[in-house]
Every structure is written in structure tokens, then in C-alpha cells.
Amino acid sequence: MAIADSIQLRITFNADVPGLDELDQLLVNCNKDGIVEADLYQPSELYSGYTGGVQDPSYTDPPWLFNKDSVDISHKDGNTVVRFQSDWAQFELSGTDIRRQSDSAIVAIYGQVDNWPGNLPGDCDTVSLMNYIFSLKGSFSLIYISFLTNVVYIVKDEMGFKSMLISIQDKSITIANVATSLGQRWYELPPNFMVTLGNRWQTVPRPMSNLFYLRNARKLLYNEVALHDIEEAITKVTYSLANAVKQLCDKRTQRDRVTLLFSGGLDSALLAAMVAKHVPGIDFIELINVAFKPKVAPDRITALCTYEELKTLFPGVKFNLVMVDVNTEDYKQVESLVFSQVMPNNTHMDLNIGAALHFAASLRGTILDPEVLNTPEWHVVKQNLTLLKSVNIRVTVSLKGDGTVINDKVDLGPPTEVTTEKDKLGTPKKQLKNDYDYDSYDTIEGLTDTLRSRIIQSGRSSEHVNYRSISREVLVGSGADELFGGYGRHTVRHSPEDELYSHEVDKDIKRLWKRNLGRDDRVVNAQGIRALYPYLHPGLIETLVDLKINPATSIDTLQCPEWFKSLGVYRNIEYSTFRNSEFLGEASRNVTVQLNKWILREIAFRMGLRMCVHFKKRAIQFGTRSAKIFNTLRGMSNRVASDKGAAVISHEGL
């Protein structure tokens, strides 16, 4: 396993430092739900000395001097340790990337700075230095110690891709990328401001970021735009996403491959297609797919469907589907470890997501033999409406509150024959009797078990069965749901207006750093892996800011704008599916049939993808079935577990 990156600063105080109580309260408020409630771009008493823009944090008292002569630097096991003293504290800085910037500064970087100049200016004042640090781009957390200004600067990139935790004790404070002790209170540092420590603790708001402009950009209403505006938006997003994929793939250290975390759903499928089309000179693309209950995990079925489609669309590209299978004992062995990594995120949901990411980031599994796709078992799986119903419900359906009926002009198609329990595979026996014994497939479990046996016993070499990728970077689809409105509550609670992001989408964007990015970084980095996020690439976000339309608004396909009917994603909807779904009974039922993330679905459709275009959103903990194992171990029913998803758990109970 590659060495995990790390950063840690421990400060032990000889005297009380003003501002610590205020910092503690600010971190408490920010970490309640991940949303910084104060308006960071208006003057606020929360930010000492702040009057708009980056200004001097008002160190009015004489500085508490750092003792440059006390600096001691040592190296051990890939880590650098720097110790020094000041008039009021002892400092110990450690990490995998610590650099001496001339005689006047030391910087510790966790992650990667894209525009690193080699040497930050060591002779500038505090304001100039803060402006310079805020101008850095990339995916990083950073601690900068200036012996010239006698100030410590602690900051993240503007998205908050990398973890940075703070724990405040009685006479000390620890700043690190992971919780070093579960017995302490830890808070995630928001990307919205920089923390500075001179002769007092202070916070300085970050200048307005692209996410701020995106959340506040006013857009045209969907019924006011023309088809050419829509085509322009689709073209721009396609180009920006492709460019994001190319730029991030250029950062990989293992040049013969590109590795993706792959559920087979829309987001990961689109990234895989973008890599296949736009990243030249690679030997193969690795698709890492996790299943905690392989025979019923939806993500395994969707991965197989999309893998087959990718191979057809890009015959000149080699795809390796790496199946990471996790049993209950595997999970039990790492549960406490994963919990320590997701901290301070401490809910059932966080642990379940962390477990899925932990095993995915191990990059260890079995490479699928493509011949499995030619077996009769796989053909039956694809044709089995009952099985695919759980993963291939075409769209999200929600009740309307205004009593509007379905548009009579919409043709739902003739009712299709509903299969009985005895005939739940939906395939006539006489079509299958020459291929295999149909009676052994009277349940979904039996069918997928046999398919799994075919996969395992496919005669591949041991290097394919016990495979481990040597990649150091993986592409991840995080951010697509937040920016393009992919969560179910975005549909249920969206505003009737689409000029601005809805309240639910806006909330998810603002808490990305806390709910997703920091937690996921801690889990993935522990395996020596770095996550790359094309959907959160600054170039793509800038494109979304400039669009005339709101990309996160879902569309009611039964009462949609005329321009939407010209799109492939609309024309490809099989409305007869709704007739037999559990959501619809009679055609006159008061419903809306909402299609979310329609821009991404249309891009995928135009690239030739068909299956994933209509896969519904399924969270990683449910798609991989990590939540199922967690719930089973604790004797919780699905209903009870659903109610407890956001419930807090403690390490003593694991």
C-alpha cells in the first residue's frame, strides 16, 4: 500500500491566547450541519477586523515572536517533523510534504497545489501573504508559518476537497487531516475562511468563490428559453466536463491506465465514456465496482450493464471491470477503523458510505472475464423486468399538490403484461430449456448466484482473481448530484421557479465540504489514494455560472417545455414502464414524472449510452449494500434503519 499523505500541527500553550473561545464557537456553528450560517461576504462580528476583502487581521498588540533559532527538523518513515518555540507556545509540525521557504517561512501541504510558485513571498506583509495564499488553486489543505510576520496561516482550497480537522483542548490545539484521538472533539475547518494565529486567534473570510457566484446567479425560466439556448448549454457542459476529465487525468502518476470508482450509474458511466473518448495513450481503463452482497447489490447489476455498453461503444478501448466483493466478516474487521476515519462525521450513513469507499479504495478484487456477458444467465438478467425494476425505474415520480392531472396528449403506451410470481423472470421456459435448467432460477437470488459462480469459475489466472491496481489516483463522480440536482429531495422540494438554485440544492452545495469531501478524503487517503472530482472542476463550475439556465432544475416529462421534447433523453423514455410501476395506477392519477440531471443524461445519451441514462439515483450505501450489512449486524429492519440513517453513533458501540 502506498504511504498515506498526512499533515498535523500540535500547539501547546504557555499562556492564554485571545480569540480561542470565539474560534471554538464558530467551528461548532459551522459543523452543526455543514452550513456556515454567517454571510461570509458581508461585514460580521464573527470575523475580527474584517470589513470586506482580505485585510489585516488587526494584530494591534505587540507580536508574540517565533524563535527561528529554535527550529529543529527531522525525518522519519516518509514524514518530516519540525519543532520550534515562541514566546507563548511550543509547536510541532509534521507531514509528508513540508517545505522550507527560505529562512523566513515553513509550509506544510496536504494534497496538491496546481499553481505552486516554488517559493511563496517571504518578505511581504500579512495582507499580501493572505491574498497570495487565497490565490492558490488545487486540492489541498495548507499550514503556512511565517517567521517574518510571526503568524500561522491555516487554510483549505476553495472547495474543501481535502480534510483539515481542529481539536481544541485546555492547553493545546491539534490541527490534522484525521482525528488522532476519538476521545477529543473534532471540527472540520470550512473552506470559507482562513484561520490565523499571531498574538490571537482570528478568522479571515475567503474572497467570493465560483460556488458563491453559481448559487446566486440568476437564470432564465425554462419556459422562456429557446431550443438553441438549450443546445448551447449542453454543448458547453459537454466540452467543460471533457476538459475537466482530460486535465485531471493528466495528474495521474500511473500513466498506462485511468481508474474510476464505478457503480455503472449515470455519473460514473459518463466519466468512463469521457475517458475512453478524450484521454489517449492509455492501455486500459479500470472500473472499480464494490458489492457487499454481490448476488443482489444493485450497483453490481448496473455496473455489468454499463460495462457491456461501454465495450460496444468503444471497441478499441480495453475496460477492466474490477469486482470488489465484501462479505460480513470483511466488514466487521474494518468497521472500527472506518469509523475513526470518517470522524467527526459520525452517523450511520457516514459509516456506511465510508465502508463502501474503504473497500473501493483498496482497488483489490477480481477482473471480470468478458465472456460472462455471453452466458445465458446474463441475458436472462438483462431481460428480467422484475430484477431490473429495482435498478431501472425510469424516473423519479412524486405526487403533485395542485390536483393537476396527467396531460391527455401524453401517450403512456398500452399496458404491458404483468408477470406473476410463478413467472417472475418474465421469460418463457421453452425459450430457455436448451440453455440451462430453468427451474433452478425461480428466484432472483438463484439467478444471480449462478451468474456469480460463472464469474468466479471463468478460468482466469490468479492475477485476475487476486488483482490489485497500482493506481494512486481515482476519478470519482461526487458533485454531480449537488450541482445538477440529483437527489430525490431536490425533486420533491424544488421551487416552482428555476431562476436560482432551489433551497435544497443550495443547501447541499454549501455543505459539500462537511457532508462529503472531508469525510471521503480521509477514507480514501488512508489507502494511499487520491480522489479526483471532474464534476467539481473549477472550469465546469465556471461554465455553470455562465449558463443561461439553471442546470439543477428537474423537468416534469408529462408537462414539459416544447424544447425538451426534441432531446434524445425524452424520446427514449418508455412510458409504458410507468403503467406497471408501483408509482402509477390509473392514467388520471395526479402525479408528476420528474427527470433530474437531464443535462448529464442528455450528454450520456448523445455519447451512445442508453442503460445508465434512465437508471435512478441510488446512494452508494444502498447501491453497494454496505448499509444492509450494517443493519443486519444490529438486527435493524429496513424501516428502522431508514429512520436511523442520520442517527449519531459512538466508537464505544462498535
Q: Where are the domains of the chain?
A: 7-208, 213-647
Hey, what's the cell of 438? 430453468
Predicted pLDDT of residue 386: 44
Predicted pLDDT of residue 69: 92
Hey, what's the cell of 408? 391527455
State the Cα angle at 239 between 233 and 240, rounded to 5°: 90
Predicted pLDDT of residue 377: 76
Predicted pLDDT of residue 651: 60
Predicted pLDDT of residue 531: 97
How many whole angstroms separate alpha carbon 152 and alpha carbon 178? 20
- Cβ atoms of 368 and 321 within 8 Å: the answer is yes
Hey, what's the cell of 446? 438463484
Predicted pLDDT of residue 159: 93
Predicted pLDDT of residue 116: 80
Please report where in the chains the cell 417472475 appears, as a residue.
Answer: 424
Hey, what's the cell of 149? 510576520
Task: Specify the amino acid at residue 650.
Answer: S
How many whole angstroms separate alpha carbon 286 and alpha carbon 279? 13
How many whole angstroms separate alpha carbon 293 and alpha carbon 629? 8
Hey, what's the cell of 91? 509547536
- Cβ atoms of 345 and 352 within 8 Å: the answer is no
Predicted pLDDT of residue 36: 52
How many whole angstroms separate alpha carbon 319 and alpha carbon 262? 12
The verdict on whether omega for the bond into residue 43 sits within 30 degrees of 0, i.e. cis, is no
Please report where in the chains the cell 517533523 appears, as a residue.
Answer: 81
How many whole angstroms separate alpha carbon 337 and alpha carbon 436? 44
Q: What is the pLDDT of residues 343-399, one digit of tens each?
A: 998 888 899 899 999 999 999 999 998 888 888 878 877 776 444 544 443 344 444
How many whole angstroms separate alpha carbon 618 and alpha carbon 614? 12
DSSP character at residue 613: G
User: In terms of CATH architecture, what is 7-208?
Assistant: 4-Layer Sandwich (3.60)
How many whole angstroms separate alpha carbon 557 and alpha carbon 613? 14
**Which residue from 473, 471, 484 is spatially nearest to 267, judged by alpha carbons?**
484
Three-state DSSP class for residue 220: coil
Predicted pLDDT of residue 615: 72
Please report where in the chains the cell 435498478 appears, as a residue.
Answer: 391
Three-state DSSP class for residue 354: helix
Q: Which residues of the chain have pLDDT under 50?
A: 37-53, 385-387, 389-444, 459, 492-497, 579-589, 640-641, 643-645
How many whole angstroms separate alpha carbon 437 and alpha carbon 518? 50
Predicted pLDDT of residue 580: 39
